[in-house]
């Protein structure tokens, strides 16, 4: 008798063929499925615990005053951090203004014009190295080229440091977006008389824009929570920002300063600021997810 025939049985109704699976394989499949679910649960536990702590400790001190008032002096009650919210938005905006053009142009060169030569490979290698550089190194870099040259801490210096951290994410996502456009689209554009520049700017780049927008939003979400580079560049300011070349308060540095404060009111504001950052990152991530779901074609 053929051994294969023992694994094949006809269903009672006579329709089709049923390939039986041994009980050992079924047990192995169930064990591995349970192991996967257990690993997922273990990975979610730290995230859930962090979110629970931030919400539980920050929600109690949440009030409209945090958006309208300045940070309190040591030992004082009440107060808010409107200057830190504005400073965070300003530094992230400056970082995006610097990194987005460089990131997109770099991706366009490596995908559309370099055709896999050694320059493109070197650029990708540098991008990979840059993505692994600690954030404090980016802060020291911006301190050396902006703070020391201008003679003071500023939002521009902070934005420069954040742009270094944002650049690898923007380059990688932009490259993947450009690669996702079919080669036939480029050939069709060239076939009707379009130049390479026209093909890239008018056809390929708009088609890849959802991917690029996703990368930009994810890069901004990462930059919004950085602390170390801003300690070397923005420093801090108890008052409202007066200009991009002045020391600027940010949410992450405010959390650092108030978390180690001996005053309970400032510690409470640190928890509220942490909650605000989590909400900002969550909103940006949702926007990135929505943008990535857009139909390109």
Strand partners, 9: 18
Residue 70 sits in the same domain as residue 201: yes
Residue 43 sits in the same domain as residue 120: no
Cα–Cα dist 90/231, whole Å = 16
Domain final residue, candidates 12, 42, 61: 61
Residue 221 has pLDDT above 70, yes or no: yes
Quote the tokens at residue 88.
């965070």
Quote the tokens at residue 154.
């500023």
In this prediction, residue 138 carries a pLDDT of 92
Residue 165 sits in the same domain as residue 129: yes
Residue 93 sits in the same domain as residue 238: yes
DSSP 3-state of 78: coil
CB 248 within 8 A of CB 155: yes
Domain count, the chain: 2
- Within-domain flag for 233: yes
- Within-domain flag for 11: no
- Within-domain flag for 10: no
Which percentage of the chain shows pLDDT scores above 70?
91
pLDDT tens per residue, range 121-152: 898 899 999 988 899 999 999 999 999 999 89
Quote the tokens at residue 168.
């690898």
In this prediction, residue 73 carries a pLDDT of 81
Residue 57 sits in the same domain as residue 93: no
Domain final residue, candidates 61, 86, 115: 61
Domain final residue, candidates 43, 61, 79: 61
Quote the tokens at residue 189.
């554009």
Residue 11 has pLDDT above 60, yes or no: no
Residue 204 sits in the same domain as residue 98: yes
Residue 26 sits in the same domain as residue 38: yes
Q: Which CATH number covers residue 146?
A: 1.10.3720.10
- Within-domain flag for 3: no
Residue 28 sits in the same domain as residue 126: no
Residue 157 sits in the same domain as residue 31: no
Range of the domain at 51: 20-61
Residue 40 sits in the same domain as residue 159: no
Residue 103 sits in the same domain as residue 143: yes
- Within-domain flag for 47: yes
- Within-domain flag for 237: yes
How many other C-beta atoms lie within 10 A of the C-beta of residue 145? 13
pLDDT band, very low/low/confident/very high, at 8 (cuts 50, 70, 90): very low
Average pLDDT over residues 231-246: 90
Average pLDDT over residues 86-109: 93
């Amino acid at each position: 008798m053929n051994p294969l025939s023992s694994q094949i049985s006809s269903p009672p109704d006579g329709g089709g063929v049923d390939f039986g699976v041994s009980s050992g394989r079924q047990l192995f499949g169930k064990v591995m499925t349970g192991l996967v679910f257990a690993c997922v649960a273990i990975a979610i536990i730290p995230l859930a615990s962090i979110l629970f702590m931030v919400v539980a400790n920050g929600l109690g001190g949440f009030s409209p005053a945090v958006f309208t008032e300045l940070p309190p002096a040591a030992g004082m009650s009440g107060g808010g951090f409107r200057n830190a919210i504005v400073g965070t938005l300003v530094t992230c905006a400056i970082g995006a203004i610097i990194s987005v053009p460089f990131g997109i142009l770099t991706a366009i060169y490596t995908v559309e014009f370099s055709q896999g030569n050694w320059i493109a490979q070197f650029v990708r290698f540098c991008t990979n190295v840059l993505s692994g550089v600690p954030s404090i190194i980016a802060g020291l870099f911006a301190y050396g080229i902006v703070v020391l040259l201008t003679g003071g801490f500023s939002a521009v210096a902070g934005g420069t440091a954040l742009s270094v951290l944002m650049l690898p994410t923007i380059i990688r996502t932009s490259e993947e977006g450009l690669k996702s456009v079919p080669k036939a689209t480029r050939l069709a554009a060239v076939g009707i008389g379009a130049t390479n520049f026209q093909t890239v700017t008018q056809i390929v780049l708009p088609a890849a824009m959802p991917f690029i927008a996703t990368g930009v939003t994810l890069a901004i979400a990462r930059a919004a929570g950085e602390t170390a580079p801003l300690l070397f560049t923005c420093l801090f300011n108890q008052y409202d920002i007066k200009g991009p070349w002045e020391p600027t308060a940010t949410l992450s540095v405010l959390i650092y300063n108030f978390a180690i404060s001996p005053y309970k009111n400032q510690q409470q504001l640190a928890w509220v600021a942490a909650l605000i950052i989590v909400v900002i990152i969550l909103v940006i991530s949702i926007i990135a997810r929505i943008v990535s779901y857009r139909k390109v074609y």
